[in-house]
Structures are given as structure tokens and as C-alpha cells.
Amino acid sequence: MTSSVRPPRLTITRVAVSDPLVEPLLRELGDEYSARYGKDAHTELARYPADEFAPPDGVLLLLLEDGEPVAGGAFRRYDEATAELKRIWTHSAHRRRGLARRVIAELEREAVARGYRRVYLTTGPRQPEARGLYLATGYTPLFDTTANPETIGPLPFEKHLSAVPSHIPGPHNPGKAPKP
């Protein structure tokens, strides 16, 4: 007897901050930040008005696996040409699967579609995984990478956008890179 195991189905959805699917993202993110930095981070996560992450200037998206949120992220307008990434998150049970890279690629696509030419973000000095992710996905650090991150504070990054490469798989391009 053979059994077939269906691979998980991943979909991207755009949601409002008030959507119930967002709650696990913000709860786990706040708990993790609080543990890393020793203070309640939930207030910081609620600092920005929800409408800043709504079209036309922003977006909040979730990567769902069989309907359950496993990763997500958002951006808001930083200035006329720049989107600011916020709240990049992967559920702790789903890390090391490339989901955050997929979220970032989709956020970049959305930013280009809204006319942004640059992405800006900051991450904390106690988030080496995030620092590594942004370096690996082509972001330029706007700080001295040889300095102790604890002496810098928030670590700023930027990336200049052009048309997002078509070889990045995602909902708008589910296939492989085109043949030359």
C-alpha cells in the first residue's frame, strides 16, 4: 500500500492589521522581542497606525500554509520613493525553510508595483538572524558591520529596487526562471 503525502500549500494573502490571522504574528513577534531585549515590545509593535500598512502606500501580507499563517511582513511609506519594511516574521515552528526570503521578495514586488524605488528597514542588534537575512537578500548595511551591534542600536539597511527579477518564484511567478 502506498500513501501519498500532499506537500503543504503555500499562499500569500494581503490583509488588514485588524485581520484575526495577523494576531499570531504580532503576539509571537512581541514575545520574542520582549525576551531578546528585556522589555515589553508589544507597545512598540502597536506604535504605528494600522492604516500606514494599508494600500495605497503600504501593505501587510501573510504567507499561509494550508490556511494558517506561517510568515509575514509589511511595509509603509517612508518617503515618496521609499518603502519601509516592518514586522518581517516567520513562526518559530517554520523557520529555516526560506519563508522569510519569500515574504521579502513579495514585499519588494509590491513596493515596485506601488512605485517605490528603494526599501529601507532597521533591525535590532540582538537579531543576528535578521541581519544575516537582509545581507543575504541584497540589502546594503548603513552601519559599520565590523562594530559591535550593541554599540550601534537599530541596524539600518537599504536596497534600491528595479523591476524585481522574474526568476524569483512567488504567486506572480510560480514557475522557474525562463530559459535564455
Domains detected in the chain: 10-160 (3.40.630.30)
What average pLDDT does the segment 102-121 reach?
A: 96
Output the nine-digit C-alpha cell for 170.
Answer: 512567488
pLDDT of residue 171: 41
CA distance 79 to 57: 10
Tell me what the mean pLDDT of segment 131-141 comes to. 96
| pLDDT at position 35 | 93
Residue 130's H or E segment, with its range, is: helix 128-136
Q: What is the pTM of this model?
A: 0.83
DSSP state of 143: S
Which pLDDT score, from 0 to 100, does residue 1 have?
A: 54
| Residue 7 pLDDT grade (very low, low, confident, very high; cuts 50, 70, 90) | low
pLDDT in tens, 151-177: 998 999 999 998 655 444 444 433 333
Is the predicted pLDDT of residue 106 greater than 90, yes or no?
Answer: yes
pLDDT of residue 167: 43
pLDDT score of 149: 92
Q: What's the mean pLDDT in 89-112?
A: 94
Write the pLDDT tens digit of every residue in 56-87: 999 999 999 999 999 999 999 999 999 999 99
Is 119 in contact with 83 (CB distance < 8 Å)?
Answer: yes
**For residue 73, what are the contacts with CB-CB under 8 A and spacing of at least 6?**
60, 61, 85, 86, 87, 88, 89, 100, 103, 104, 107
Which residues on adjacent β-strands are paired with residue 79? Answer: 82
On the CB side of 37, how many CA atoms lie within 13 Å of its CA? 19
Are 150 and 132 in contact by the 8 Å Cβ rule? The answer is no
